[in-house]
Every structure is written in structure tokens, then in C-alpha cells.
Amino acid sequence: MVEAAREIPRARYRYLLDRERLLGPLLISPAIGYIVLLIGLPLLLAIYLSFTNAISGQLSAQFVGLKNFQTILADPLFFQALKNTFIFTSISMLIVLILAKILALALLKSFPGRPIVRFLILLPWVAPISLTTLSWDWVLGASNATLSTVNWTLRAVGILGPQDWIWWTSYTTPAMAAIILIHVWRMLPFATIILLAGLTSIPQEIQDAAVVDGAGFWRRFFEIILPLMLPIVAVAVLFGIIFTATDMTVVYILTRGGPYNSTHVLASLAWQRGIFGGQLGQGAAIAIFLFPLLLIVAFFMLRLARRTEVT
Amino acid sequence: MAIVEVRDLKKYFGKVRAVDGVDLTVQDGEFLVLLGPSGSGKTTLMRMIAGLEQPTAGQIFIDRHVVNDLPPRARKIAMVFQSYALYPHKTAFANIAFPLKAQGLRWEEIRERVEWAAKLLGIAHLLDRRPRELSGGERQRVALARAIVREPSVFLLDEPLSNLDAKLRHAARDELKRFQRNIGTTTIYVTHDQIEAMGLGDRIAIMNEGKVRQIGTPYEVYHEPADTFVATFVGTPPMNLIARAERLIGFRPESFLPKEIYNAHEDLVSFSFHVRRVEHLGSDRLLYGQLAGKDDSPVIAKLPLTVSIPIQEGRSYEFAVRCGDLKFFSRESGWRTEPEF
């Protein structure tokens, strides 16, 4: 009895980590710390900066209220960038969704070499985007049209003459198309994998039942597969929108917003204004502008995902 | 209404012979049960009849037409799956209406037929619920309603009772059988549960390792098993098999009774039975033990409640089997052989 009584206090400390009320907060704290330090504080700083006349290289800044927002709202370039962000995001998401869906359906069927194909499809996603954009620069000849593989191919088949060099990214529409193309190429693996996961989560017996019930491919697709995948598609679209709308790597490396600012998106404009132009306050105001819009998108997408959940 | 026939049907998955040469005819309106352990090929056979799986070789006839190259929707079959496979995002009504919509029927006709099927199965009050709001038994009825609503020629049922709890399963079995008799549709039913098979089937096809071992009425497969597999697979506890020279002698546990309960003039074969353990199961007593002699293979006797002779563990008793209840099998092939004394 005496032995046992002495054991108890030690046991209390030994099993400390078995208590969920202690272990839970302990395990979640690194994640919370990470979010607060690396996402929360910069976000608050950006919101603060957007209300000041801060410029780079200077520590003091004065509160100027909504002046930065007034300035950018009076700037046609800002609306150009906003429109571009919208076009860039919506068109690339639409193409990504359609292609990813087709790819996911194709990868669902087993065929020889499927593991290798599944691996290869992931490559654009795992390669650093700045490096792959440089490769695309070379393909399209954004920096030097005489090196463009597209131009050389067109020459080889006789469409271009010996002295014709097309600077693809020097024209507004091809430049935007090139940016969308690269972005689609980059986002496709991610979307495909998510949709593939959604597809494989539909029980085989339900798909078999639809076949036996006499539904053809389109009826199965629109009445069974698509509704059952909607929650996961909504999450994929949400991620895609946020990744796309806040991305500037492709724009920055390929065109730097040109020609004539025709490919600037909000993220690249904010970078140019705030970091290169030194107008930290204005840059922050441009960057912050997207925040409430994306918040609304996230709210509706998550609600859609929850509403369409059936099991 | 249709006859279903398969001829020399084979399905290989790589080196695995899931179905390995099956010949089978299901008569018009018959209730045929495919019974076998898991991996015996019974579900693959059914999926080939449904058209969900392409045979490696052989032919499938439905209503005397070869249907090998027809898609499932052209075969006039309906199938109920083990998980019921209801569409989780659709109401019971939309689930039942789905095959009719696929046929392109008019809306009024769809509604009429869905209501007819729902009434037949007693689920008319559940039509606007989604599957997750239904109990297991209700889901099963919705699945059955979805199957009958377009009046198929053939019903394929893949273990439709295995997801119900034991009590419900009993009632559902009786209901299913009455239901099938009423509508008179040719039915193929897959199960690994021999009690279900015996209770439901007009005939039972017993499968093992991709082959049909025996087709017969429940009485035939129980009392006249074609080989040792059927003899030991059908019946709980399984048939006792003891080796004698070149043969195996088989007898059912319930045919193996104390000698004193038989009439003196009956033709009996008696054994000295050493009882190792006694199990009291309420309606029966199970006795586990061995026969005296060189052969020490386990033997089980099943005494009904009406046999009240006291039996003690660790003692030997004189037990006997009627000569007619002994079955003989070749020791080499396992096939049934002629009795010989």
C-alpha cells in the first residue's frame, strides 16, 4: 500500500502527455506560431502600411488615412491590373478545370505505365516556377526572339521566312495568352491530383450501378460523378483562385507587366509600385485590395463545398 | 422473363483464373443462388452476366441471344449491389427514377412507375428522403425498387442482405423470396451464406476456385453432395469425412447418433466415438471427438434436443449411422463414388 501511494505522484508526470487538454495545444502551437509570425504579422503590417505614406529606406511614416486608396483608384493602371487579374484568374482556372478533369478521368483507368505517367504529370508542379518560367522564356523567345523554339519550329515548317522573328510577348494579346498558358501548365498537375482523389473516392459500386441502370457516359458524368465531386472541386477551385490571383512570378519573369503594362496583375503592380517605385504605402494598398475579394470567394466556395457534401 | 445461359465462360485477371469454364442455365422465373467462399468467382460471374466485366472466353445468352458484346443497358437486367450503391446526393424518388430517366420516359410515366414500385416495397412515405436519412432495411428496399422499376428480364442480386443485422436479415429473406415469387422474374443471387442460399434458392450452384462444383436443389446439394468440397461447405457443422482405404466416408453430424436410439432392424454402421468436448447450443448438443482406431480425424455429432441420453466429456460411446446416410468419395479426386460394402 505504501509502495503504491508513493508511485502515484511520479505517474502523474509520466503520463502528462497522455492528457489531451495538454497534448492538443502543445502540438498545434508550432502551426499557430508559424501562422502568426509569418502570415499574420506581415498582413497586419501591410494593412498598416496601406494607410501611411511610407517609402522604402525610411523608418518613419505618417498616417495618411485613405489617401493611398484614393490615389490608386484614380490610376487607370490599377484598373488595368485589376481587370488583368480577373481575366488571368478566370480564364486559366476554367482551362485548368476542364483539362484537369479530362486528365483525371484518363489517369483513373489503369494502363501500362500509369505510375510513371502519374509521376511525370506532377513535374511542372514540383519544379521551381522561376526556373520553369525561364525555360518558357526561351521557348517563347521573350528575351530573345532569335532563340525561340516556337519561331525555329515555324521556320522549319516554312511558315516563317528566314528573317522573320516574332517577339511573342511584345504584343499584348499573345503576351497575356503566354502568361495564361504557363500558368495553366503549372497549375494542371495540382488540380489533376485533387480531382483524381475526388474521382477515386466515388465508390465503384455506385458507378457500376449507374452503368447497369442504363446511364450513358454524359448522364453518368453530369448526374453522378460531377455532383459527388462538387465538394472537392469547390476546394480545388478555391485554392486555384487564390494561388492564381496572388501570383506574380510568371508575369514578373516573362513580361514584367509589359508590353505597355498590358499584362500587369495586382500582385506584380504592387511589387513594382512598392519595391521598385519605393512607394510602400501605395504598393500595400494595391496588394491589400484583393484581400476582401478573396475572403468573399473563400466564404462562398467553402459554403458550397459543405452544402454539396452528401455522406 | 428470360432464360440466362452461360457456356464455358472464363475470366482471367492476369494469372488468376477468377472464373474458369462455367456452364450454367437459369430457367425462366427461377431463383438461382451462386454460393461459394470469397474468391470463388461468384461475383465475377455475376458481373459478367451484368456486362460490367468482359469475359476472357465463352458466351452469355439472355433470352436466347448472345449478349457478350452488348453494354449493360442493352441487356434488360437490373442489379442490386452489396452496398446498395444508392446515389447519395439524390432522394429515394430520384434514385428509383434514375433508370427510367435514362430510358427517356415521360415525366408522368416515371412518376407513376416510381410510385408503383415504392408502394410494392412499402417505402412510399420515404420517397423524399436521401439515402443517409434511411435505415439499412429502408435503403435495401430503395435499391430493390430501383431494380424492379423498369421491369427487367433478369434480376442480379449481389449479397443484398449481408449489410443488414441478423434479425432484420431473417425477415428480409422471407420478404425477398415472396417478392420474387410474386413478380416471377428470373433471379440470380450471389451469397457466401449457405443458410441464405438454402432458404432462398430454387437451385443452388456451388462454386469454388472459379468452377461450379454442383448445381442442384437445396435438398440435393445437402443430401447428395457431388464432392468433398460441397459436402464440407454446405451444412454447419460440416459433413464428417473419415478415411477408409482408397475412399473417404462422409456422414452428416445429425446422422451420427447414439446406437440405442435406432430400431434394432435398421441397417447400421456403428463406431466407437470418443467425446472430447460437449457444446450445449439450446436446440442442439454438439459433440466433438474422434472415432476409435488409427484414424484420428475430428468427428462432430449433432444431437437434437429430443435425444436426451447423457453424454460426458472424455468418455467413449457406441454411435451409429444408417447405411443410407453414408456417402463415399474418392480419396484422390474428392468426387463422389458408388457405395460399396
* Interface residue B188 vs chain A (CB under 8 A): no
| Selected residue with higher pLDDT from B221 and A10 | B221
Please state the rounded mean pLDDT for residues A29-40.
Answer: 93
CB pairs under 8 A between A and B: 68
- Reading the block at residue A201, the C-alpha cell is 473516392
A235 touches chain B (CB under 8 A): no
Interface test with B, best of A211, A213, A222, A228 (most B CBs within 10 A): A213
User: Does any CB of chain B come closer than 8 Å to the CB of residue A161?
Assistant: no
Alpha-carbon gap, residue A275 to A26, rounded angstroms: 38
Q: What is the ipTM of this complex?
A: 0.81
Inform me whether the C-beta atom of residue B29 falls under 8 Å from chain A C-beta atoms.
no
Q: Which of B82, B87, B103, B155 to mutate to test the interface with A (most CBs of A within 10 A)?
A: B87
Task: Give the contacts of A79 (CB within 8 A, at least 6 positions apart).
Answer: none
Phi-psi region of B245 (alpha: psi -120 to 50; beta: other; left: phi over 0): left
Which residue is closest to B79 within chain A, CA to CA? A212
pLDDT above 90 covers a percentage of chain A that reads 12
**Any B CB within 8 A of A33 CB:** no
Instruction: From chain B, pick out residues whose CB is under 8 angstroms from the CB of A210.
Output: 87, 98
Q: Give the number of residues written for chain B.
A: 341
Asked if the Cβ–Cβ distance from A212 to B89 is below 8 Å, we say no
B107 vs B104: CA distance, rounded Å: 9
The distance of B208 to chain A (nearest Cα, Å) reads: 24
> For the whole prediction, is pTM greater than 0.80?
no
Mean predicted confidence (pLDDT) in A50-71: 82
CB contact under 8 A, A308 and B89: yes
Any chain B CB within 8 A of the CB of A214?
yes
B267, HSE (Cβ side, Cα atoms, 13 Å): 5
Beta carbons within 10 angstroms of residue B53's beta carbon: 18
Closest residue in A to B72 (Cα) is A212
Low-confidence ranges of chain B (pLDDT < 70): 1, 294-295, 339-341
- My answer on whether omega of the bond before B71 falls inside 30° of 0, hence cis, is no
B99 part of contact set with chain A, CB < 8 Å: yes
pLDDT 10s digits, B169-217: 888 888 888 888 888 899 999 999 988 999 999 999 999 999 999 999 9
DSSP A36: I
Nearest CB to A212: which of B78, B87, B88?
B78
Most B CBs within 10 Å, among A110, A212, A308, to test the B interface: A212
- Which residues share a beta bridge with B157? B80, B189
- Any A CB within 8 A of B79 CB: yes
CB contact under 8 A, B98 and A203: no
Among A139-143, A289-293, B280-284, the range scoring the smallest mean pLDDT is A139-143
How would residue A1 be classed by pLDDT, with cut points 50, 70 and 90?
Answer: very low
In tens, the pLDDT along A242-286 reads 888 888 888 888 877 777 778 888 888 888 888 888 888 888 888
Read off the pLDDT band of A6 (50, 70, 90).
low
Q: Judge: A215–B77 Cβ closer than 8 Å, yes or no.
A: no
The whole-number pLDDT of residue B143 equals 93
Contact A271, A81 (CB under 8 A): no
d(CA A115, nearest CA chain B) in Å: 18
Asked if A205 has any chain B CB less than 8 Å from its own CB, the reply is: yes
Task: State the angle between helix axes of A114-126 and A76-108 in degrees (0 to 180), rounded to the nearest 10.
Answer: 170
Long-range Cβ contacts of B243-248 (<8 Å, 24+ apart): B243/B295, B243/B297, B243/B331, B244/B295, B246/B330, B246/B331, B246/B332, B247/B328, B247/B329, B247/B330, B247/B331, B247/B337, B248/B328, B248/B329, B248/B330, B248/B331, B248/B334
Write down the pLDDT at residue A32: 95
Per-residue pLDDT for A3 more than 80?
A: no
Average pLDDT, chain A: 84
Task: Report pLDDT for A271.
Answer: 86
- The answer to whether the CB atoms of A209 and B87 lie below 8 A apart is yes
With an 8 Å Cβ cutoff, is B85 touching chain A?
yes
What is the pLDDT at residue A37?
92
User: CA of B73, closest CA in chain A: separation in Å?
Assistant: 4
Which residues 113-172 of chain B have a CB within 8 Å of chain A?
A: 130, 132, 146, 150
Residue B61's alpha-carbon distances to A22, A162, B40, B131, B210, in angstroms, are 67, 67, 22, 34, 19
Pair B105, B49: CB distance under 8 Å: no
- From chain A, the residues in CB contact with B51 under 8 A are 211-212
pLDDT given at position B251:
93
A311 touches chain B (CB under 8 A): yes
Partner A contacted by B98 (CB < 8 A): yes
Partners of B88 on chain A (C-beta within 8 Å) are 206, 228, 310-311
Would you give the distance in Å from CA B122 to the centre of its chain? 26
Is there a contact between B269 and B321 (Cβ–Cβ < 8 Å)?
yes
Is B52's CB within 8 Å of A311's CB? Answer: no
Higher per-residue pLDDT: A195 or A160: A195
- Whether B89 and A228 lie within 8 Å, measured CB to CB: yes
Please give the biggest Cα pair distance in chain A: 100
Residue pair A285/A50 in contact by the 8 Å Cβ criterion = yes
At residue A28's C-alpha, the angle toward residues A24 and A34, to 5°, is 165
**Is A304 in CB contact (< 8 Å) with chain B?**
no
Q: Identify the residue with better confidence: B28 or A127.
A: B28
Rounded Cα gap, residues B232 and B254, in angstroms = 14
Task: Please tell me if residue A310 touches chain B, with a CB cutoff of 8 Å.
Answer: yes
